[in-house]
Amino acid sequence: MLNPLFEIYSDQWLLAVHKPSGLLVHRSPIDKHETEFALQYARELNGGQHVYPIHRLDRPTSGVLLFARDPDTARLMGQAMMAGEVSKTYQAVVRGWTPESGVIDHPLKEEPEDRRLKGLEQPVREALTHYRRLATTDLPVEIERYPTSRYSWVELYPKTGRKHQLRRHMKHINHPIIGDANHGRGRHNRYFAERFGQGRLLLAATELHFKHPVTNEAMVLKTPPEQSFQDVLTLFPTT
C-alpha cells in the first residue's frame, strides 16, 4: 500500500508530515481493531527506525504532524510543548457567520480515552482558543428553519491543548465545525457529505511554529488543507 503521509520537513532530528483525515496517529483503546497508523508510516519514512510523536491530531483531523527521530529531541520538543513555546494554526469550516475575530476562554472537563474512567469525576482545566474569520458564504439551501444557510471559514489558534478543544470550543460559541459527529449539527454534516460525496471533519492543522530544539532556528512548517477540504472551500468567494 502507498504511504499516505508526505514529508513537509526533514532533518537529522525532526520529521514533519501531512496526515490525511481518517488516519489514527497511534493505537488507541477507542479503535482497538485498526491496523494502520501514522506512526508506522512515519517509521517507514524514517528508514524503518523508530520515531517519536511530538503531538497528536485526532483521527478525523488532517494536517501537520511532527515526529522526533531520537529520544533526546523528543524530550526537548516535549518540554517546549509544555512551556507553550509551540504554536499551532488550524483551519475550519463552521456553521453560521462568526465575528471577525475573538477569544474563547472556556474551561473544559477532561475527556479520558479509557471508557472505564468515564464514570468518574474528571478535572476541569483552563482552555483558551483565539480565532479569525477568513471568509463567509450564504448558500441558497434550506437546512434548518431558514431559506439560506450560512457558513464561515476560520483560522483557529489554540493556546492550550485540551482534548477536542477546538471542536468543543466552537460548539460552545454556537459555531460547530462541519463534519463533527459528536459536537456538530447532523443536518449540516449530512448536507456537506452528500454534496461533496464524502463526510469528513472540516478541521485541518495548517501551521506549526517553534524553535528548533538543536539549532535554535525559528521553524515555520506549513501545509495547505488536503484536497477534500479544499473542495469545500470553493463555496467561499475568492478575494
For the chain, how are helix, strand and coil distributed in percent, rounded to 5? Answer: 20, 30, 45
Q: Is the pTM of this model over 0.85?
A: yes
Calpha distance 214→204 (Å, rounded): 28
Calpha distance 202→122 (Å, rounded): 28
pLDDT tens figures, 169-206: 999 999 999 999 999 899 999 999 999 988 899 999 99
Q: Which residues are catalytic?
A: 58
Give me the half-sphere count of Cα atoms (radius 13 Å) on the Cβ side of residue 141: 12
| Least confident residue range of 9-13, 106-110, 120-124 | 120-124
Calpha distance 214→162 (Å, rounded): 27
For residue 9, report the phi and psi dihedrals to the nearest 5 degrees: -155, 145
Confidence of residue 31 (pLDDT cuts 50, 70, 90): low
Distances (CA, A) of 157 to 86, 119, 231, 232: 11, 31, 23, 21
Torsion (CA) 161, 163, 164, 166 in degrees, nearest 10: -20
pLDDT tens figures, 124-160: 999 999 999 999 999 999 998 889 999 999 999 999 9
Contacts of 81 (CB under 8 A, 6+ apart): 54, 55, 161
Helices (H), the chain: 38-45, 71-82, 165-172, 186-196, 227-233
Among candidate residues 43, 86, 51, the one with its CA nearest the CA of residue 69:
51
DSSP letters along 122-148, please?
Answer: --EE--EEEEEEEEEEEES--SSSSSS
CA angle 187, 193, 195 (to 5 degrees): 100
Amino acid at the residue 24: L
Calpha distance 107→90 (Å, rounded): 20
Residue 219 C-alpha cell reads as 521553524
pLDDT at position 110, please?
Answer: 80
CA angle 29, 21, 4 (to 5 degrees): 95
Say whether 45 sits in a helix, a strand or coil. Answer: helix
Compute the residue count for the chain: 239
**Maximum mean pLDDT: which of 16-30, 31-45, 183-197:** 183-197
pLDDT at position 136, please?
Answer: 98
Does the domain at residues 6-233 carry the CATH identifier 3.30.2350.10?
A: yes
Contacts of 215 (CB under 8 A, 6+ apart): none
Contacts of 133 (CB under 8 A, 6+ apart): 97, 98, 99, 100, 101, 152, 153, 154
> In the predicted model, is pLDDT for residue 208 greater than 60?
yes
pLDDT tens figures, 53-76: 999 999 999 999 999 999 999 999
Confidence of residue 36 (pLDDT cuts 50, 70, 90): confident
